[in-house]
Structure 1
């Protein structure tokens, strides 16, 4: 399948890099990676998707190849990164799919572009109650303090918490290494932006259907009870928090089904 690397320039010294795959007139799927990750996480998935789809895989600011000197690291500003790509590609209709932090960005993209985004798909996102609903100052400080004191150590704890028993240790180590290398200050600032994001308000104002594919061994009943009436939650057993990397063919099948829903 043809793949092109492109870029779009935004304000505040921001250049967003993205990959385009598939025919120009195909239904559009926009893929948004998680915190500390990049668009290459979706390379294998793209190879298993139906050939008629047009796939845009985006590197958010200061992730992957994208660069920025901006001071604002909110979910709303990341959504503007995605919106800039959609505008550059003259997209009139699309499904936005986001992993982890990218799920929050997908919701904000839908809120920003209600006439363009038709559906939102979250890959093991939106259900972590210590990350996604806006945290009060005390809870936010408790979560962020370890990252401010020992970033690599806290990063290891985060990745391990998202790795159920049986997860390949080599994959865990690879993600610890990759995510620990996220560029600063954007990395920590993006986490701060996530824990202060008001997901409840965002969900109230989002009109598009939202589906969450959640790892069964990780999601809690409390999260299902809290959000099950606002989003469609599908529990899966395809691997760890990074299941889209571990099980690209099965993940592609889930996404293809959502594109035809």
Structure 2
């Protein structure tokens, strides 16, 4: 299905249909909405919460023509409009972090606040770019083993829980190779620094250990961003330390609410 024919209402999601303060969770590369099960349960107690599957991921139908992260953002915007949502707080992990920043820069009137969980690098080094491009090429050839190895070795610390590591690898392996490859190509076109600088909404960055975006670099390049870090937790810090991640997000949302009332 081409993007022009894609129906935003076909996006699969969990929606608690409660409250007015909408919090939207956007999963990372090759993942699905189950990635946010801990956050969905926690924030559903006091917010309208939606966790969605990006096109071609989880239970959402595939869509061709998603050549960049702006295309993903446009679909999410149309999805939220179909839900009747005109204000939202966005939370994205990894690629999802890049998407919510893009969405906030494209549709500033929609977004009240942005949380990025160890997002795609704001400044991508040549080495990192080459590694991701190599992964895209392997997936385009149908060589899915490289994805599993990349996730297990590059996205988790050596001391990570083996069961959690295996569960995440299994979850990410359910995304078709062609979908994962196209999404990676979209990531490779992303200009994170320019996108973040154009975002008017307040931003909370929760880094992993080690961080994809070093804290000192974020402070120098994007001084308005609030930085937090989960120590001893890798790229999937919202899985490894969900309570702490939820506390950081909750405190940030409370700050945003206070400032909006002032």
Query: What is the TM-score normalised by the length of structure 2?
Result: 0.83
1:251 and 1:238 map into 2 onto residues whose CA distance is 13
Structure 1 residue 21: deviation in Å?
Answer: 1.3
**SS at the partner of 1:185?**
helix
Structure 1 segments unaligned to the other structure (5+ residues): 1-9
Partner of 2:14: 19
Partner of 1:233: 227
Query: What is the TM-score normalised by the length of structure 1?
Result: 0.83
Partner of 1:6: none
- State whether structure 2 residue 58 is matched by structure 1 residue 59: no
Question: 123, 126, 129: which one pairs with 1:133?
Answer: 123
1:1-261 aligned within 5 A? 11-14=4-7, 15-23=10-18, 25-49=19-43, 51-126=45-120, 128=121, 132-133=122-123, 140-149=129-138, 150-219=143-212, 220=214, 223-224=217-218, 226-237=220-231, 239-261=233-255
> What count of residue pairs does the alignment treat as equivalent?
247
- Whether contact under 8 Å (2:152, 2:165) holds in the other structure is yes
Structure 1 residue 42: deviation in Å?
Answer: 1.6
Structure 1 residue 249: deviation in Å?
Answer: 2.9
- Whether contact under 8 Å (1:124, 1:215) holds in the other structure is yes
2:28 and 2:156 map into 1 onto residues whose CA distance is 15
Q: Which has the higher strand share?
A: 1
- Whether contact under 8 Å (1:164, 1:218) holds in the other structure is no
Structure 2 segments unaligned to the other structure (5+ residues): 256-262
- Whether contact under 8 Å (1:50, 1:256) holds in the other structure is no
1:50 and 1:249 map into 2 onto residues whose CA distance is 14
